[in-house]
């Protein structure tokens, strides 16, 4: 089969590799129908040392081709959504809805498991991992359903971890796909005011369509002052940080209200950060967030996607074939595309 591999910064190629096969009785073999490129795929695209090839992609919808003997919840022919982490669905963390900490789970494209930017994927622990979608593989809803693999669940996680609820004043940092879907999620959860911080008009326009009440294009101290002014002078009680770089963290500290919450879902590209009296402690700020247990949210978020009440797939603004994947990375890297959808032919 064909699959995307990264060989180093800026170097993505489509290789032909052996087809995956069932290895464990809990495996399913899934033919990928649609996948996409994640903002987080750009981190190695910027910094990966040249050398070994790494499979890519962690968001996909596909059709089950074959299942191991112990798989019972999905069967051949089912259209399934794969969350960005695979998990057993039975351990104590899965039962609590924290599948990204599954005791037996893991992540795509690591440890001998392939990536989603491929023609097919061996899915470990299929019963715990996959969720059947009640549509056909030609459904126009597929782009929207695909966001349940990661970006929509991740935006939703940001809002849930911040405990966004009716009447809240929320600031969202970052106008990437996750930030925009954090806006949509905050709106779904009843936020009254949603200030989106972002500089790309086409993206912030989509943010307004998703429910942002205000857009702040300024950065740094100017942006902080603007957000604080918009939110009554003392900052936003809930800040959703959907970037992962240090300036976004600093922005979050700047705009959060005393007693408020900073919820991070952009994978931090730093290890140490200010958390002392002057940043978090003195004003009783809570720092929360992490990798979204997308699996936990799929069933909850799917009905509104199926009904058309929300259209999270609007974050996809370019569609390519698997062979065009290297161009897709380049387009996202140059910010010519917000998020690239890959359709298998």
Strand partners, 320: 342
Interface with a copy of itself (CB under 8 A), residue from 16, 284, 307, 345: 284
Residue 284 zone, left/alpha/beta (φ > 0; ψ -120 to 50; rest): left
Residues 6+ apart with CB under 8 A from 252: 171, 173, 239, 241, 262, 264
Q: How far is the CB of 169 from a copy of itself (least distance, A)?
A: 12
Q: How far is the CB of 307 from a copy of itself (least distance, A)?
A: 30
Interface with a copy of itself (CB under 8 A), residue from 53, 63, 135, 267: 267
**Inter-CA distances, 20 with 78, 102, 124, 156, 265, Å:** 18, 23, 12, 32, 31
Query: Is residue 288 close enough to count as binding a copy of itself by CB under 8 A?
Result: yes
Instruction: Report the C-alpha gap between 58 and 46 in whole angstroms.
Output: 18
Query: Is residue 280 close enough to count as binding a copy of itself by CB under 8 A?
Result: yes
Query: Is residue 290 close enough to count as binding a copy of itself by CB under 8 A?
Result: yes
Total site size for a copy of itself, rule CB under 8 A: 36
Residues 6+ apart with CB under 8 A from 179: 155, 172, 173, 196, 198, 207, 240, 242, 243
Interface with a copy of itself (CB under 8 A), residue from 42, 48, 273, 330: 273
Q: How far is the CB of 141 from a copy of itself (least distance, A)?
A: 29
Residue 61 zone, left/alpha/beta (φ > 0; ψ -120 to 50; rest): beta
* CB < 8 Å & 24+ apart, contacts of 139-142: 141/305, 141/306, 141/313, 142/33, 142/34, 142/61, 142/313
Query: Is residue 96 close enough to count as binding a copy of itself by CB under 8 A?
Result: yes
Query: Is residue 283 close enough to count as binding a copy of itself by CB under 8 A?
Result: yes
Query: Is residue 100 close enough to count as binding a copy of itself by CB under 8 A?
Result: yes
Q: Of 257 and 318, which has the nearer Cβ to a copy of itself? A: 257
Residues 219-238 vs a copy of itself: string with x where CB under 8 A?
---------------x----
Query: Is residue 268 close enough to count as binding a copy of itself by CB under 8 A?
Result: yes
Q: How far is the CB of 301 from a copy of itself (least distance, A)?
A: 18
- Contacting residues toward a copy of itself, per CB under 8 A: 92-93, 96, 98, 100-101, 161, 234, 258-259, 264, 267-268, 270-291, 293
């Amino acid at each position: 089969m064909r699959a995307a591999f990264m060989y180093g910064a800026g170097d993505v190629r489509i290789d032909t590799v052996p087809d995956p096969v069932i290895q464990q009785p809990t495996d399913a073999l899934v033919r990928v129908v649609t996948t996409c490129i994640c903002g987080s795929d750009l981190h190695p695209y910027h910094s990966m040392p040249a050398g070994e090839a790494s499979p890519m992609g962690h968001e996909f919808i596909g059709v089950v081709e074959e299942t191991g003997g112990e798989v019972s919840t999905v069967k051949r022919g089912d259209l399934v959504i794969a969350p960005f982490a695979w998990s057993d669905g039975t351990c104590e963390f899965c039962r609590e809805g924290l599948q990204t900490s599954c005791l037996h789970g893991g992540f795509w494209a690591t440890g001998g498991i392939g990536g989603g930017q491929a023609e097919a994927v061996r899915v470990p622990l299929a019963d715990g991992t996959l969720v059947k979608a009640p549509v056909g593989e030609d459904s126009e809803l597929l782009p929207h359903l695909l966001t349940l693999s990661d970006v929509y669940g991740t935006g939703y996680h940001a809002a849930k971890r911040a405990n966004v609820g009716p009447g809240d004043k929320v600031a969202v940092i970052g106008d990437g796909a996750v930030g925009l879907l954090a806006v949509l999620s905050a709106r779904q959860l009843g936020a009254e005011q949603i200030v989106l911080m972002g500089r790309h008009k086409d993206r912030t326009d989509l943010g307004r369509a998703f429910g942002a009440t205000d857009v702040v294009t300024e950065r740094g101290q100017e942006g902080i002052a603007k957000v604080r002014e918009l939110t009554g002078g003392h900052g936003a009680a809930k800040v959703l940080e959907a970037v992962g770089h240090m300036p976004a963290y600093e922005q979050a500290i700047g705009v959060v209200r005393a007693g408020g919450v900073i919820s991070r879902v952009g994978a931090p590209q730093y290890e140490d950060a200010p958390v002392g009296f002057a940043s978090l402690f003195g004003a009783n700020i809570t720092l929360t967030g992490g990798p979204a247990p997308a699996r936990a949210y799929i069933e909850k978020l799917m009905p509104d996607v199926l009904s058309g009440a929300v259209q999270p797939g609007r974050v996809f603004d370019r569609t390519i074939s698997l062979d065009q994947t290297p161009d897709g990375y380049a387009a996202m890297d140059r910010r010519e595309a917000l998020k690239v959808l890959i359709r298998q032919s």
